[in-house]
Amino acid sequence: MVGIGFRKDFAEEMLQNNIIQPAFIEVAPENWIGVGGFWKKKFRQALEKYPLYTHGLSLSIGSPDPLDFQFLKKVKAFLKETNAQIYSEHLSYSKCDNAHLYDLLPIPFTHDAVKHVAERIRMVQDVLERKIAIEIVSYYSPVAPEITEIEFINNILAEVNCDLLLDVNNVYVNAFNHNYDAKQFIDLLPMERVSYIHMAGHHQVSENLIIDTHGEAIIDPVFDLFDYTMHRLKRDVPVLLERDFNIPELEELQEEMIRLNEIKTAALKSTSYVTA
């Protein structure tokens, strides 16, 4: 099934007609916890219509600062109240010395960071009493790396029993910016740990730099990498279309979701099909 990020930019139009027909919606819990009035009503209407998946923005799993357990308790209550199917977060950090940086910064690819992040994922899962999925993020410069990006990700997954959110566009962006083969990178991931896939567009600002914006349509090479991923995965998982900026007409979003569904369906027909 293919879903879409539920955005206020098109929430009313989405709820009033059937131009886009996602199988589920996704929100960031911190954007909706404590929201009342008009938008609470709209969110409730959406929950009556679609299953909910969630994708956190501010857990700051890689931060040196202590975890915010009060925030985690609010997230736990939100997940229970909304019957959220998945809670995922970024393999990054956004808080340091009690300052929220409002960005998803890369964690240094080091052995100490592997242990640190794995332990924090374990603590989060204990509090939430559920397994979470961590997302491979886009980054533009590695910080004091001791090991490679793929070693960093796989070492964390070896240390802690969590799921993997595979953002195919992020893999494409990183492979382009850091000059490695995206398909070989996906070949090295433990595909049995993938529980969720994100798809999005990006913006190429120069011959050798792509910025992950979620503000453009998905390009053909990313669709091709998604097709390759589905053939490697050989089973069905939920797929999300992310669009945060430059929101087009809803018909265009629906066309992208249809293409994602067609690619996934065709790939799975050639494998042993297992329904998520």
pTM for this prediction = 0.94
pLDDT given at position 145:
92
pLDDT given at position 99:
77
Query: Mutual orientation of helices 111-128 and 149-159 as an angle, nearest 10°?
Result: 40
Note down pLDDT in tens along the chain; length 276 residues.
999 999 999 999 999 988 999 999 999 999 999 999 999 999 999 999 999 999 999 999 999 999 999 999 999 999 999 999 999 999 998 888 777 777 788 999 999 999 999 999 999 999 999 999 999 999 998 888 999 999 999 999 999 999 999 999 999 999 999 999 999 999 999 999 999 999 999 999 999 999 999 989 999 999 999 999 999 999 999 999 999 989 999 999 999 999 999 999 999 998 655 545
pLDDT given at position 142:
86
59 Cβ neighbours under 8 A, 6+ residues apart: 67, 68, 71, 72, 75, 89, 90, 124
pLDDT given at position 118:
98
pLDDT given at position 98:
74
